[in-house]
Structure 1
Amino acid sequence: MPDVMRISARRLAEYVHRSGSIDARIGGSTAMIEGTRNHQAVQKKYMEQDQKEVFLDGIIEIDGQTYQLEGRCDGLLVREEKPVIDEIKSTSRLLHTITEPSAVHLAQAIVYAWMFTEKEDLEEIGIQVTYVQNVTKEEKRFLQPFSAAFLKEQVEEMVRIYAPFASLMKSLQEKRNDSIQTLAFPYPHFREGQRKFAGAVYQTITEKGKLFAQAPTGIGKTISTLFPAIKTIGEGKANQLVYSTAKTITRAAAEEALADMHAKGLQLSAVTLTAKDKICFKEKTICQKEYCEFADGHFDRINEAVLDMLGNEYMINRSVVERYALKHRVCPFEFSMDLSYLTDAMIGDYNYVFDPRVARKRMMGEQKRTTVLLVDEAHNLVDRAREMYSASLQKSAFLALSKMDVSPAIKSAANKANKACLELKTICGEQSFHILDEAPPEWTQVLQAFYEAAEERIQEGDTEKEIIDLYFAAQRMLHVIEMMDERFYILIEKKGSDVWIKNVCMDPSLFVKESTKNYRGTVFFSATFAPVQYVKGMLGGDQSDFGLSIPSPFKKEQIEVRTYLISTKYRDRERTLDSIVAAIKNGFEDAKGNFIAFFPSYQYMEMAVERFTPLFDHEEADLLVQSKMMDEQEREQFLSSFSGEKRVLAFAVMGGIFSEGVDLPGDQLKGVAVIGAGIPQLNPERNQMKQFFQSQGLNGYHYAYVYPGINKVLQAGGRLIRTEEDEGLLLLIDDRFQTSLYQDLLPPEWRIST
């Protein structure tokens, strides 16, 4: 059988026909993204004989090499005169500004059309590119006929251009698979529970399933998921993996695990994605050729940059991306995004998988079906997903814009939006807030009018930051309004003279489930699924999904737990603060080593620090306090203090950067105090969430307050015991920890002995 290289129609078209500059002024072709809902809306209008999502493939031979082109066309329309290939694209652009189809979109349709003419032995076929406006839902079509001879000529030329890249990718894949075949577990032995966890991950991927795994802190969850996932790639069951997480520290853990496997001979490429504003070379993140020399002509140079990177690097972290981006004068963020579709592994924030605003839209079809998704610290995704599917606007932004020196159309639209906010404010009456089940039609109309006016100005070259920021905020809210059902509500909130309008998502489960759909296998894992049914439900799990709970490998004797009958409720904080400070002081002295006290808020923590400081011996130890806006260097200095000669007592917040994903094994940490049950602050949003879950037959208070809080407690306390040799003292300071509800939610080794 001849050696055949497989090529995706979409990848071929993008590789060959992308050109020019990055232009974030909505009018650029980079703003065009595919939207499943828009596709389905267009396809519903097809005639009975028409087909949708049609898989096509075709064989072509160039210079002695055989290539198999394949992909799914959006529509195959049966017409009397000739069949028509329909390629559907969503766009943020107003349709009257689109005068011809994008070269990339047309090229993709040309590949589909060629495959169909070859299959059916046709001499001519029609190609239609259909654009759907994201907000207005208007449609615009470009239809033209093509001869089979012309299509074949175009496809052959595209393949010739693509051939060197295809050859490199094939060579890299062969080396990768050979290295995986001989790859052994990179550490001397499996920790207790690790082999069982790794086996469950392997089985999940093999059976194309979804796994929710709770594994204790310190077991080595990162390698327990990465190693079996990589083994399935070597066996041809998968072709790529995505490691999705919320914290910089846990991304670093994934990089270290891959580096350890590379040291054992693994040849697998991996790119770590860094947020655009962090990796941008310019002072301001303005993606326009007039401002940024890396955006100017980016697509003319990107293919050479990709070939250079993939031909020379395996571990592609931020510094490596920056080095090659400077060498080839390309945008480092867009460069890393392109690489994320091509490398064997991608490490990045939840956003790139779950957030509809920034998720990698090209991760679909066959590539998604051969990709493994690993979601680290998955308990964090619950609240993050709620934020991703919510939106907010404030009246003051429209008022400020209406007073600026902007076009009359923008000034008028902003002024009307400001007045609409004032009208919503009157609904609140004497109260500070009001809840609505749906968006008032008048508000939606005014918001859409502003969106269209801003779109017009941006298309014409207006780059005022205030206009662009409000444009995207309005677009976001309009999208959320479109999705609204019983899982959403609108909160109108008065804050001084300002008014906030928030579209709040209470239950993101269906959206998370849709995001994970069609992956080869998905693994959600964390040390704290408390309780499992809550986290699993919020992340779109169902009864058919796999579940796993690994007991702690650590002995109860390794940890001394002290519970305190002290109230930390807001109304009692001033009264009980001295008792809490005394407990921390005694715990620090008894632990005889470094110690962290975790508080539920910065305000509460700062109250305790002020009360504690006069009692502290600064000659004996250093007092560290987490601040709200710590940069990476300050975080590293904070953590490095635990490795110094002098003892450390640190004050930090639960749910913050030091309460999750931080490893301080051995003598680096000997004691932890958890102050409070982590209960979120009582507010209208949480109360509305409580009512919603109560209406679903669940315990609303537990879902809105108790469960989100206990996960923060477990993460903070989990910093203490990280290895089989660690020992330490854990203080649980809150009278609720001794109730049956919380005792059932705590790990067995933390519970009161009976």
Structure 2
Amino acid sequence: MAEVTRISARRLAEYVHRSGSIDARIGSSTAMIEGTRNHQAVQKKYKEQDQKEVSLEGKIELDGQTYQLEGRCDGLLLLEEKPVIDEIKSTSRLLHTISEPSAVHLAQGMVYAWMVTEKEGLDEIGIQVTYVQNVTKEEKRFLQHYSAFFLKEQVEQMVRVYAPFAELINDLQEKRNESIQELSFPYSHFREGQRKFAGAVYQTISEKGKLFAQAPTGIGKTISTLFPAIKTIGEGKANQLIYSTAKTITRAAAEEALADMHEKGLKLSAVSLTAKDKICFKEKTICQKEYCEFADGHFDRINEAVLDMLGNEYMINRSVVERYALKHRVCPFEFSMDLSYLTDAMIGDYNYVFDPRVARKRLMGEQKRSTVLLVDEAHNLVDRAREMYSAMIQKSTFLALSKMDGSPSVKKAAKKINKTCLDLKKLCGEQNFHILKESPREWTEDLLAFYEAAEERIQEGETEKDTIDLYFAAQRMLHVIESMDERFYFLIEKKGSNIWIKIVCMDPSLFVKESTKSYRGTVFFSATFAPAQYVKSMLGGDENDYGLAIPSPFKKEQIEVRTYAISTKYRDRERTLDSILGALHKGFEDAEGNFIAYFPSYQYMEMAVERFSSLFNHNEADLLVQSKMMDEQQREQFLAAFAGEKRVLAFAVMGGVFSEGVDLPGDQLKGVAVIGAGIPQINPERNQMKNFFQSQDLNGYHYAYVYPGINKVLQAGGRLIRTEEDEGILLLIDDRFQSPLYQELLPLEWRIST
């Protein structure tokens, strides 16, 4: 019996019918995105006899091979007693500029329509492509009828074009699964607690669940999640995995773990995503064919590039993407995004999973249901998610635009917003801020008017960066306004002569929960879920989700903890600085090796560096100081100094790039000082968050200030002990660390012995 090759209707349509150039201007077909809420709004208008989200399938025999086409159409309607496929697409384009449906969208509808004609024995069927404008919510429809014979011809032709690609994918997956079945744990032994963690990950995926796991720093969390996830792929329980992370350095850890398994015989493809601005070949990131030769005709060459890459590479990092992108003259960012839907694993920033602006919207349906999501350093996602679902605009940008040469309609709309900002400023009174529960109607209407005027101008060929940037800022804020409820607030803030308008998300839990819905399994893991219930609730967890806390495998004797009851509060810093630096100096001397001191802010750190240099002479050691704008090369040089011959005393910031995901094992690091409890700066935004959680019968101060701070402390202190052989001195400098609240939040081995 011939093997059956399964093909997604959407992937088939995109592979065969995408063509032409990338054009990031708003009037391009590439600007169209999926919008779940828009789909639901259209579907609510269906009549009683109409069906929504209809799963369909159909088989085609070609050249002795059986192809099973699968998908889920948005709607199966009865219009004037005739069946019609409804394909709903969201778009940022103004609808009067769309004169015909996209070839890809129409082709996808044709595949669904053919499936229905085959199943129901129909001679004819209609295909309707429904476009919904993202902001205005206006709708526009294109309806055509086709014979079953014509549809079958079209689908067979598409399958013939797709067949070589399908054959390659099948061959790669067969080799992948064979290699996984033979794969053993890539290291000599499991560390203590590691086997239990890996087992919990495997069970979670097998049972299609969600796991919140706290595992201590140094246990080997990356391999403990990747290895069991890969094993489930080999067993057919999943088909793809996503390793989502906040920092480049933790992305590198995942790449290294996969490389170690490849050395053991694994044949699993993985692509690492790099931000568009970083990987772009051009001086400016302008995705238009007139400016970029890689955007020009990109879709005419992309299929060949993908076939070449998948046929020859397994570990697809930035340099590999760039090499093949140059070879095939395609955009490296869009190339890597395409690959992320096709490779067995994707490694990338949280944005590609959770941020509604850049999340990979083509991951849906059966592909999403067979994908495993691994979220590294998940405590970071709480604040990152708040940012993703918030929006901010400055008055000064609209004032500047209103004075520039350009479209009269855009200038008029920008001038109106500038005036509205001045009106809103009056609400602040003598304060520098004012908070509202919802967006004022005048603000929303003015912003929508600017959005429409700017889009009209951009579609006419406007390339002025200021106009385009403000267009996207307005679009984002309008989307956030649409989501506003009690979890948000509207903030008017005076900063000198400027005015900032912000819509702030305080509780992102429902959005995170929605983002993780439908995955085969989701694992949130970190060394610092403090307390676990706080992080779990902020990331959309519920009582049915699994929880796991792995105790530290390291001996208490490996770490000497010194706790100092010295105030680091802002009002006391000048007075207590010398005492803090005295404790730091003694710790550095006693550690007899490299040392890092973490401070809660750059200003505090810089004040300490200056004072330390005047108090103590350390010619035998290099003083390293983290700066705000370090590029990747400077960061690498900073960390490389710890492997040098000269002792290092480094000053860094809690919550920064050197306080998380950094491995300095053995003699590379012998001491760490954590100065302060990591409490975020008190400001109107945090206080509003405190009030919100207080209204939810929770401890608002803890949720807004204490818990975010303690996670920074735990991460910074966790840099010290990374392996079974490490040992060193940990200084906890703040009088709050001795309070019952903080003692309860600290790891057992850090607490004061009683």
Shift of 1:80: 3.9
The CA RMSD over aligned residues, in Å, is 0.5
Aligned to 1:7: 7
- Deviation per residue, 1:562-591 (Å, 9 max, x gap): 000100001101110111111111110010
- Deviation per residue, 1:139-170 (Å, 9 max, x gap): 00000110101100100110000000000000
What CA distance in whole angstroms lies between the structure 2 residues aligned with 1:572 and 1:603? 14
What CA distance in whole angstroms lies between the structure 1 residues aligned with 2:234 and 2:432? 59
Shift of 1:61: 1.1
Q: Secondary structure at the match of 2:211?
A: strand
What CA distance in whole angstroms lies between the structure 1 residues aligned with 2:522 and 2:29? 32
- Deviation per residue, 1:632-664 (Å, 9 max, x gap): 110000000000000000000000000000000
Q: Which moved more, 1:57-66 or 1:385-394?
A: 57-66
Aligned to 2:259: 259
Q: Does 1:424 align with 2:424?
A: yes
Amino acid at match of 1:386: R
Aligned to 1:598: 598
Q: Map of 1:349-498 to 2, 5 A cutoff? A: 349-498=349-498
Q: Map of 1:551-700 to 2, 5 A cutoff? A: 551-700=551-700
What CA distance in whole angstroms lies between the structure 2 residues aligned with 1:461 and 1:21? 16
Q: Secondary structure at the match of 1:337?
A: helix
- Deviation per residue, 1:249-305 (Å, 9 max, x gap): 000000000000000000000000000000000000000000000000000000000
What CA distance in whole angstroms lies between the structure 1 residues aligned with 2:441 and 2:62? 58
Aligned to 1:56: 56
Amino acid at match of 2:647: R
Shift of 1:63: 1.4
What CA distance in whole angstroms lies between the structure 2 residues aligned with 1:353 and 1:65? 35
Amino acid at match of 1:469: D
Shift of 1:72: 0.1
Amino acid at match of 1:111: V
TM-score by length of 1: 1.00
Amino acid at match of 1:524: F
Shift of 1:62: 1.3
Q: Does 1:743 align with 2:747?
A: no
Shift of 1:617: 3.1
Shift of 1:614: 2.1
Q: Does 1:528 align with 2:520?
A: no
What CA distance in whole angstroms lies between the structure 1 residues aligned with 2:615 and 2:67? 75
Shift of 1:39: 0.1
What CA distance in whole angstroms lies between the structure 1 residues aligned with 2:273 and 2:81? 49
Aligned to 2:149: 149
Aligned to 1:539: 539
What CA distance in whole angstroms lies between the structure 2 residues aligned with 1:350 and 1:79? 43
Amino acid at match of 1:596: I
Aligned to 2:275: 275
Amino acid at match of 2:438: E
What CA distance in whole angstroms lies between the structure 2 residues aligned with 1:164 and 1:488? 50
What CA distance in whole angstroms lies between the structure 2 residues aligned with 1:294 and 1:310? 20
Amino acid at match of 1:627: S
Amino acid at match of 1:470: L
Amino acid at match of 2:317: N
- Give ranges in structure 2 of 5+ residues lacking alignment: none
What CA distance in whole angstroms lies between the structure 1 residues aligned with 2:700 and 2:373? 31
What CA distance in whole angstroms lies between the structure 2 residues aligned with 1:237 and 1:575? 60
Q: Which moved more, 1:462-471 or 1:80-89?
A: 80-89
What CA distance in whole angstroms lies between the structure 1 residues aligned with 2:707 and 2:239? 36
Aligned to 1:327: 327
Q: Secondary structure at the match of 2:604?
A: helix
Amino acid at match of 1:407: S
What CA distance in whole angstroms lies between the structure 1 residues aligned with 2:169 and 2:690? 51
TM-score by length of 2: 1.00
Amino acid at match of 1:197: F
Aligned to 1:114: 114
Q: Secondary structure at the match of 2:467?
A: helix
Shift of 1:78: 1.8
- Deviation per residue, 1:678-727 (Å, 9 max, x gap): 00000000000000000000000000000000000000000000000100
C-alpha contact (below 8 Å) 2:2/2:64 kept by paired residues: no
Aligned to 1:230: 230
Shift of 1:92: 0.2
Q: Does 1:105 align with 2:105?
A: yes
Q: Secondary structure at the match of 1:462?
A: coil
Q: Secondary structure at the match of 1:547?
A: strand
Aligned to 1:168: 168
Q: Secondary structure at the match of 1:241?
A: strand
What CA distance in whole angstroms lies between the structure 1 residues aligned with 2:159 and 2:152? 11
What CA distance in whole angstroms lies between the structure 2 residues aligned with 1:126 and 1:268? 42
Amino acid at match of 1:750: W
What CA distance in whole angstroms lies between the structure 2 residues aligned with 1:155 and 1:547? 47
What CA distance in whole angstroms lies between the structure 1 residues aligned with 2:148 and 2:421? 57
Aligned to 1:85: 85
Aligned to 2:726: 726
Q: Does 1:206 align with 2:206?
A: yes
Q: Secondary structure at the match of 1:83?
A: strand
What CA distance in whole angstroms lies between the structure 1 residues aligned with 2:257 and 2:26? 39
Q: Secondary structure at the match of 2:732?
A: strand
- Deviation per residue, 1:353-405 (Å, 9 max, x gap): 00000000001100000000000000000000000000000100000000000
Shift of 1:32: 0.3
What CA distance in whole angstroms lies between the structure 2 residues aligned with 1:132 and 1:337? 24
What CA distance in whole angstroms lies between the structure 2 residues aligned with 1:265 and 1:731? 44
- Deviation per residue, 1:527-584 (Å, 9 max, x gap): 0000000000000000000000000000000000000010000110111011111111
Q: Secondary structure at the match of 1:53?
A: strand
Shift of 1:615: 3.1
What CA distance in whole angstroms lies between the structure 1 residues aligned with 2:209 and 2:11? 27
What CA distance in whole angstroms lies between the structure 1 residues aligned with 2:172 and 2:33? 29
- Give ranges in structure 1 of 5+ residues lacking alignment: none
Amino acid at match of 1:55: S
What CA distance in whole angstroms lies between the structure 2 residues aligned with 1:410 and 1:150? 46
Shift of 1:234: 0.1
Q: Secondary structure at the match of 2:82?
A: coil
Q: Secondary structure at the match of 1:237?
A: coil
Aligned to 1:339: 339
What CA distance in whole angstroms lies between the structure 2 residues aligned with 1:108 and 1:493? 47
Percent of aligned positions that are identical: 87
Shift of 1:618: 4.2
What CA distance in whole angstroms lies between the structure 2 residues aligned with 1:406 and 1:424? 27
What CA distance in whole angstroms lies between the structure 2 residues aligned with 1:263 and 1:27? 47
- Deviation per residue, 1:208-246 (Å, 9 max, x gap): 000000000000000000000000000000000000000
C-alpha contact (below 8 Å) 2:183/2:265 kept by paired residues: yes
Amino acid at match of 2:260: D
Aligned to 2:244: 244
Amino acid at match of 1:625: V
What CA distance in whole angstroms lies between the structure 1 residues aligned with 2:41 and 2:366? 23
Q: Secondary structure at the match of 1:242?
A: strand
What CA distance in whole angstroms lies between the structure 2 residues aligned with 1:67 and 1:92? 35
Amino acid at match of 1:501: I
What CA distance in whole angstroms lies between the structure 2 residues aligned with 1:184 and 1:275? 33
Q: Secondary structure at the match of 1:78?
A: strand
Shift of 1:64: 1.4
Aligned to 1:125: 125
Q: Secondary structure at the match of 2:650?
A: strand
Amino acid at match of 2:271: V
Shift of 1:196: 0.1
What CA distance in whole angstroms lies between the structure 2 residues aligned with 1:476 and 1:422? 21
What CA distance in whole angstroms lies between the structure 2 residues aligned with 1:456 and 1:79? 33
